[in-house]
Amino acid sequence: MAGIDNLTPWKKGQSGNPAGPKPGYKHISTWIEDMLNDEEFEANLIDSKHGVVEFKGAPLKAIIKTAIHKAINGDKSWADWLANNGYGSLLKIQTEDPRQDILEKYGLGVEGADEKS
């Protein structure tokens, strides 16, 4: 009879379902991604100033627009969120010699690289 005493752990690299998921199966992350990017998405939202507001369009765009608006208005947490999920938190805008910076980044410092061609 099956019971907790005769259970054995999976071997390394062994799947609990060797046949894989059923055809058409979608992981929850796929559902979320699809819904966030769905241009035909519609929802009724409760707004404290305007009551019920109908929303149409891709929710991800609304989330990003909200984050940008809040970051521009000084909300550091949203600015950090945008930096971490967009361009990254460190942007080097200016450099004395971009060629030298690239060479140094990869440990390829070359004599005379700082000379203008």
> Over the stretch 21-32, which tens digit does the pLDDT of each residue have?
788 888 899 999
Domain boundaries, the chain: 30-88
Q: What is the pTM of this model?
A: 0.51
Mean pLDDT across the chain: 80
Closest listed residue to residue 99, CA positions, set 90, 108, 91: 108
| CA dist., res. 46 & res. 54, Å (int) | 9
| CA dist., res. 97 & res. 16, Å (int) | 54
